[in-house]
Amino acid sequence: MSENPDLTNERASGTFETNAMAAVIYGSEKFAQRRREITEAISKIPEFQDSHPLVFMSREEKISEACRKLAVLSNYWNSLIDTSDEEEALHLYREVLGLEGHPLALHETMFIPSLIAQASDEQQEKWLGRAQRREIIGCYAQTEMGHGTNLRALETTATFDISTREFILNSPTITSLKWWPGALGKSANWSIVIANLIIKEHNYGPHPFMVQLRDEKSHEPLPGITVGDIGPKMAFNGADNGFLGFKNYRIPRENMLMRHSKVTSDGSYIKPPHAKIGYSSMVKVRSRMAMDQGLFLASALVIAVRYSAVRRQGYLEDKSREVKVLDYQTQQHRLFPSIARAYAFIFCGFETIRLYDQLLIDVQNGNTSGMADLHALTSGLKSVVTYQTGEGIEQARMACGGHGYSMASYISEIYGVAIGGCTYEGENMVMLLQLARYLVKSIEMIQNGKSRELGPMVAYLAENESEIDLNLGPNEYLKVFEYAARNQTWRATEKFQKLRNSGMSNEEAWNQASVELTRASRLHTRLYIMSTFINHVGSIVDQKVKGVLIDLLNVHVTYEVMDIGIYVQGLLSSNQMDLIRNQLYVSLETIRPNAVSLVDSFQISDMQLRSVLGRRDGNVYENLFKWAKSSPLNKTDVLPSVTQYLKPMMEKSKL
Ligand SMILES: CCCCCCCCCC/C=C\CCCCCCCCCC(=O)SCCNC(=O)CCNC(=O)[C@H](O)C(C)(C)COP(=O)(O)OP(=O)(O)OC[C@H]1O[C@@H](n2cnc3c(N)ncnc32)[C@H](O)[C@@H]1OP(=O)(O)O
Ligand SMILES: Cc1cc2nc3c(=O)[nH]c(=O)nc-3n(C[C@H](O)[C@H](O)[C@H](O)COP(=O)(O)OP(=O)(O)OC[C@H]3O[C@@H](n4cnc5c(N)ncnc54)[C@H](O)[C@@H]3O)c2cc1C
């Protein structure tokens, strides 16, 4: 069937090449091209297609379908991608397995990265190759039923037995059961387990251990291990998140991951070069999250924008034909700022992934000085990005009206998966408060006359306000954001200090200032996102692409400043606020002809999108009908439940 003419017209009105834009989104022409090649190659392998729509499958079927595809994938892995390239691998996974989770997700995202960052050279020799060849399947078991956020309260113990040179793992209480780890429930046979290291009754705190959970031949749990699936979740139901308990389970001393902390055979403990070095796997995932969430948001927007260009409802001036809903200003206001955010998140994601890769090298060379900065940055970024992604996806769903609520749109699944990110890798409020610690310390440095020692990301906290001329473009909006973040950070810090100076304990003062502190963290992070977006656009060479991204940037900066209006009341007059509001409306109109091309440029395939509404060809209605007819409920005209219950009930009512 040919393309819906409404979408053809939209594409014709685009002022730039989507391949050129994809090269900017994905960091290089080479990678953008590789993505297309991988997608093309996959489309020719019929076994990679869903055997029937995932939304009609039970949880067991989803997990089985994911395993089937993983097994097929193992035959093609080396021919489809450069296996040393993480981004290519991720693209392959997204295309073939989608986003509902699968039994290798944690193996790739946390198990292997933990071995790379935390295992000694000898340990890597023993396990890393096996993991990379997928001879074993691993997971990352840290969270417990009673403890997730506060790692210092974990209960699982690994007690060193000097006589046998083994660690004895125990889960002393019900709350100490590991709870949540992905792939633990049914798939993984090994795990990195985070447990308190106990030597001669001294607790050295949480440390990572390499633990075999299941027999490599029979896959049965090993004696001393209780393991299983935690049940259905809001989304991610293609993954088997699990529980795990230990009863006097022994592992060799060599199974404690010993790149940084060490326990010698006589039970001596060697401290790591940085107290939080064992947290690196979390920083790794957090550093990926802006990119991954940006792509979740992008997926929802591809669906909503394409659908809005074919959905006609109501009239503007011309009463002879209903208009595309994309022509309504309210629809544009609902969707376009999110397009801008998706671009901005992806740009930030590339930056934080690069920073993590550099930090990993630095740490391996003994330099841990960058850890605090990246921890603060990624803590704030994961929190803001996951929250705004959730908001944006929900707006995209509502922008699709009733059909958005149908699983045919697939938006609810994207939403469910994306908002998991508000919780995993550290609950958002808690991570905002981690960043706040860093911001408060920065203010204290300024108060103590050490402004010069501030890092580049917080140097603005020491600056004075300057006049704002909003006709000058994005950099002026950046100054507005700096003003808001600086003011709020000072206010929140001063509130905390005042409470503490009044005699309150440090902890209580912190708690009483914490809402204000999280606000400071959000503003600081939004400033970072805006400045990364501005810098990125500034570096683009292709003038057509750059022009459109400047338009998108204008949507971003005006929307963001309007959104934080309450924090800039002392800086901007109401006339200036009106001016910004009008600039936003003008920017929405300017971006309108490029809206479909901007979302096309994400180059997310129909296979990956799994959305009837978001199809590239725009043939929504006929496919919606086809999709509904394929519902298992439509296999028969009269359901057994009607025969068994409703008919007798109706008959009885007739008497
Ligand atoms: C071939 C390649 C293939 C690759 C392809 C990959 C394919 C993958 C397929 C993908 C498919 C689908 C994707 C699915 C992804 C799903 C992923 C889900 C993953 C979810 C996993 C998890 O959730 S794991 C569990 C995570 N848990 C947490 O995050 C817990 C949060 N809590 C904490 O981190 C800590 O408790 C805390 C930081 C909040 C506090 O720690 P602590 O109490 O120890 O510290 P303090 O608060 O007292 O702070 C003391 C000082 O320490 C500083 N600090 C803390 N952390 C760090 C750090 N990490 N680095 C540096 N410094 C740190 C803190 O700032 C304090 O400093 P000062 O203020 O100076 O004192
Ligand atoms: C989809 C998904 C996948 C996961 N995968 C894994 C995995 O593979 N491995 C693994 O180990 N774990 C995993 N987890 C667990 C996850 O990491 C934890 O759920 C997360 O870290 C949050 O911890 P919590 O559940 O203890 O929340 P809690 O800390 O109990 O949070 C509950 C509430 O308390 C608040 N709160 C807690 N502490 C503070 C504080 N200090 N100050 C202010 N407010 C506070 C929070 O803000 C929140 O509102 C996964 C979770 C999900 C949802």
pLDDT given at position 464:
86
Q: Round to whole Å and give the CA distance between 417 and 296.
A: 8
**In a domain? residue 416:** no
Give the burial class of 485: count Cβ atoms within 10 A of its Cβ; 0-12 exposed, 13-18 middle, 19 or more buried: buried
Cα(182) to centroid of ligand 2, in Å? Answer: 14
Cα(150) to centroid of ligand 2, in Å? Answer: 9
Domain range spanning residue 168?
A: 135-272
Q: CATH no. for residue 172?
A: 2.40.110.10
**In a domain? residue 207:** yes
Known binding residue 380? Answer is no
Indicate which residue's Cα is closest to atom 52 of ligand 2.
424
Mind listing the pLDDT tens digit for each residue in 385-437?
A: 999 999 999 999 999 999 999 999 999 999 999 999 999 999 999 999 999 99
Q: Round to whole Å and give the CA distance between 304 and 403.
A: 10
Write the DSSP string, 269-317.
Answer: EE--SSTTGGGHHHHHHHHHHHHHHHHHHHHHHHHHHHHHHH-B-S-SS
Provide the 10 A C-beta neighbour count for residue 349: 23
Mind listing the pLDDT tens digit for each residue in 470-518?
A: 777 888 999 999 999 999 999 999 999 999 999 999 999 999 999 999 9
Q: Are 140 and 112 in contact (CB under 8 A)?
A: no
Q: Round to whole Å and give the CA distance between 36 and 42.
A: 10
Long-range Cβ contacts of 568-574 (<8 Å, 24+ apart): 568/480, 568/483, 568/484, 570/487, 571/465, 571/468, 571/480, 571/483, 571/484, 572/468, 572/470, 572/480
Pick the closest to residue 525 from 442, 466, 439, 638 (CA basis).
439
ipTM above 0.85, yes or no: yes
Give the ligand whose atoms come closest to the C-alpha of residue 181.
2
Q: Round to whole Å and give the CA distance between 609 and 627.
A: 15
If one residue of 150, 180, 192 were mutated to test the ligand 2 pocket, choosing by the most ligand atoms within 8 A of its CB, it would be: 180
Write the DSSP string, 440-459.
Answer: HHHHHHHHTT-GGGS-TTTG
**In a domain? residue 298:** no
Indicate which residue's Cα is closest to atom 59 of ligand 1.
279
pLDDT given at position 473:
84
CB of 375 closer than 6 A to ligand 1? Answer: yes
pLDDT per 10-residue tile (average), the chain, 655 residues: 96 98 98 98 96 94 97 95 95 96 96 97 98 97 97 97 98 98 98 98 98 98 98 97 98 98 97 94 96 98 98 96 98 98 98 96 94 97 98 98 98 98 98 98 98 95 82 88 97 98 98 98 98 97 97 98 94 93 97 98 98 98 97 96 97 88
Q: Round to whole Å and give the CA distance between 307 and 620.
A: 8
Q: Round to whole Å and give the CA distance between 197 and 253.
A: 11
Tell me the longest C-alpha to C-alpha distance in the chain.
Answer: 90
Domain total of the chain: 1
Question: Which atom of ligand 2 lies at the shortest distance from residue 426's CA?
Answer: 21
**Sign of the CA dihedral with 128 first, then 133, 138, and 140 last:** positive
pLDDT given at position 465:
77
The 3-state secondary structure of 139-204, one letter per residue: EEECCECCECCCHHHCCCEEEEECCCCEEEEECCCHHHCEECCCCCCCCCCEEEEEEEEEECCEEE
Cα(451) to centroid of ligand 2, in Å? Answer: 35
Catalytic residue among 108, 425, 482, 560: 425
Give 144's strand partners: 147, 178
Pick the closest to residue 613 from 628, 595, 633, 631 (CA basis).
628
Give the ligand whose atoms come closest to the C-alpha of residue 608.
1
Residue 312 Cα to chain centre, angstroms: 33
Q: Are 337 and 395 in contact (CB under 8 A)?
A: no
DSSP helix/strand/coil, 36: helix
Residues lining ligand 2, Cβ inside 6 A: 106, 140-143, 148-149, 180-182, 236, 241, 420, 423-424, 426-427, 429-430, 433
If one residue of 423, 506, 516 were mutated to test the ligand 2 pocket, choosing by the most ligand atoms within 8 A of its CB, it would be: 423
- Residue 425 is a catalytic residue: yes
Provide the 10 A C-beta neighbour count for residue 277: 18
Indicate which residue's Cα is closest to atom 33 of ligand 2.
427
pLDDT given at position 466:
73
CB of 149 closer than 6 A to ligand 1? Answer: yes
Give the ligand whose atoms come closest to the C-alpha of residue 144.
2
Known binding residue 143? Answer is yes
DSSP helix/strand/coil, 478: helix
Pick the closest to residue 428 from 293, 238, 234 (CA basis).
293
